[in-house]
Structure 1
Amino acid sequence: MAGQPNKRQKRQDYRQAQRENGTTNMPRKKFYRQRAHANPFSDHQLTYPVTPQHMDWSTYFPAFVAPQDEDTTMSHTTEATDVLSKRPPKQLTKDVEVVDIGCGFGGLLVALAPAMPDTLLIGMEIRTQVTAFVQDRITALRGQNSESGLYQNIGCLRANTMKFLPNFFRKAQLTKIFICFPDPHFKQRKHKARIVSTTLNSEYAYVLRPGGIVYTITDVEDLHDWMVQHLEAHPAFKRVAEEEQEADPCVGIMRTETEEGKKVERNKGQKFVALFRRLEDPPW
């Protein structure tokens, strides 16, 4: 006689049913449990494109897939062909321009979607279960809003941005990068794992176009000072003045709509915000 299914089996059964039935019910977090943090230096068996030209965004933004012309498809060279499928990736009608690094449970993405309806936004999250939750959340929201077409412009993928960000995005492709309540890595020996650093800031500068903005927010003042120090020291960035910062509608959304932001609000904690603009490259 078969015993009762364990917690892992219950989670798997729930998520399988959630996807097979195409339900519009919002996913329940208890079926997507995972540790709060992941080691970015570990091998997470990730799948990533060899170059941005190899990335197939069509599964994340199916409503924005461009009509496929047979002649165009056949004209793709071997270099621009997906390594795994040996077929050229489907093209979108517009590029992804906004990234939420470490998107967590997707609160910021969901809030930004109607505020930026003509922009494609992607959340990048390293934790497997959390990524699955956000993907199922987006599917449910699309189902609930099928007539209006809302939430077609957001997606979430599992990725380690510390290692592979330039694999997904071309030079100067992005207009905004959000870094919301990142892991503070308090111990000094763990500072190398912080998502803002001298090396990583150069990657953000590479994928951001001039005039693009890096948005940062944290409830840890020491981490805020760290991010400000490292981004101000980078020649490609300049801190945005507070008056302009407070006038940016994305700042208000970032403060109030992330899950971590709501937790800080409940605990009556502080939130430290800083924005940095990507400068023009100096002439050769």
Structure 2
Amino acid sequence: MDWSLCYPAFVVPDTQLVTEDHALKPLTKPVTIADIGCGFGGLLVALSPLLPDELILGLEIRTQVTEYVEDRISALRSQHEISSPGLYQNIACLRANTMKFLPNFFTRGQLSHIFLCFPDPHFKARKHKARIVSSTLCAEYAYVLKPGGCVYTITDVEDLGEWMRRRFEAFGNSGVRGEDDGVETREGQGKGVFEKIELPEEGKEGEWVVEGGEKGQMGMLVRCIREETEEGKKVSRNGGKKFVSVYRRRKDPAWPDEI
């Protein structure tokens, strides 16, 4: 993957890696944040100035929507080229089916944040296998997330929010079967790979931001997914509810000979 096409401002000068196909220009830092199903890029644009030291990638399956976001980012970069030359250089969008190819983009433990904002609920039972959260996909999220990294989910469909909660909390929990395709996931007493974080109510995220640190950053990111995404704004206009959850990846347990 030639990331220099997405983040030209972060290319290491006068260097290249020669592969069998062509030469790749390495970046000064890896991508650490992924917005899966980024839609029209509202969250990407909001996060860019808030996290200027992070490379943020939006992944979208729809071709025309991806082209729109690419043009939007290009326009923003041009508009701020003189006044703020580094602004919006740290975001990019690619067309991809992440349900099939997520591990092709990221190495193990590369990401610190994954966003799943207003995914398609696929209401019919026969379409549940197409949901962006499943037992299988939880394994891929756990693979690309570093220990301590978080998955942020938001939806206006309460049943979907509950579906995602059960899958994340059950994944890696010994004795619990994470069944999909309409079969209920049984609750367990052990600890899985993900732990659910208790969040502030909508409108009170600023209390966390004031505290700073990891908690402050989490409060800032939760506010963004509630207020800055196009779907989030639409739900607010219609007076709907938003169901937000954050799941932190636990550290891998030590091997017996490491204890």
**TM-score, normalised to structure 2's length?**
0.82
1:240 aligns with 2:197: yes
The 2-side partners of 1:94 and 1:145 are apart by 22
Give the deviation of 1:241 after TM superposition.
2.0
The 2-side partners of 1:243 and 1:264 are apart by 19
Matches within 5 A, 1:56-205: 56-69=2-15, 73=17, 81=19, 86-147=21-82, 148=84, 149-205=86-142
The 2-side partners of 1:125 and 1:198 are apart by 21
Residue of structure 2 equivalent to 1:222: 159
**TM-score, normalised to structure 1's length?**
0.75
Aligned length: 219
1:259 aligns with 2:230: yes
1:123-177 Cα distance to aligned partner (Å, 9 max, x none): 0000000000000000000011112121000000000000000000000000000
3-state SS, counterpart of residue 210 of structure 1: strand
1:90-124 Cα distance to aligned partner (Å, 9 max, x none): 10000000000000000000000000011000000
3-state SS, counterpart of residue 58 of structure 1: helix
The 2-side partners of 1:255 and 1:212 are apart by 19
Residue of structure 2 equivalent to 1:268: 239
The 1-side partners of 2:222 and 2:199 are apart by 11
Structure 1 gaps of 5+ residues are: 1-54
Give the deviation of 1:278 after TM superposition.
0.6
3-state SS, counterpart of residue 242 of structure 1: coil
Superposition RMSD in Å:
1.5
1:155-213 Cα distance to aligned partner (Å, 9 max, x none): 00000000000000000000000000000000011000000000000000000000000
Give me the identity figure in percent.
63
3-state SS, counterpart of residue 164 of structure 2: helix
Residue of structure 1 equivalent to 2:249: 278
The 2-side partners of 1:89 and 1:143 are apart by 25
Is the alpha carbon distance of 1:270 and 1:243 closer, same or farther for their aligned partners in structure 2, counting shifts above 3 Å? closer
1:55-101 Cα distance to aligned partner (Å, 9 max, x none): 111111000011233xx64xx5xxxx2x6xx1232100000000000
Residue of structure 2 equivalent to 1:209: 146
Letter aligned with residue 164 of structure 1: F
Is the alpha carbon distance of 1:265 and 1:243 closer, same or farther for their aligned partners in structure 2, counting shifts above 3 Å? closer
The 1-side partners of 2:163 and 2:14 are apart by 47
The 2-side partners of 1:190 and 1:68 are apart by 49
Matches within 5 A, 1:36-75: 55-69=1-15, 73=17
Letter aligned with residue 273 of structure 1: V
Q: In terms of Rg, which structure is larger?
A: 1
The 2-side partners of 1:160 and 1:122 are apart by 14
Structure 2 gaps of 5+ residues are: 172-191, 209-218
Give the deviation of 1:243 after TM superposition.
4.6
Give the deviation of 1:283 after TM superposition.
1.1
Letter aligned with residue 188 of structure 1: A
Letter aligned with residue 231 of structure 1: F
The 2-side partners of 1:119 and 1:92 are apart by 12
Residue of structure 2 equivalent to 1:250: 221
The 2-side partners of 1:159 and 1:270 are apart by 29
More deviation, 87-96/166-175: 87-96
Letter aligned with residue 252 of structure 1: R
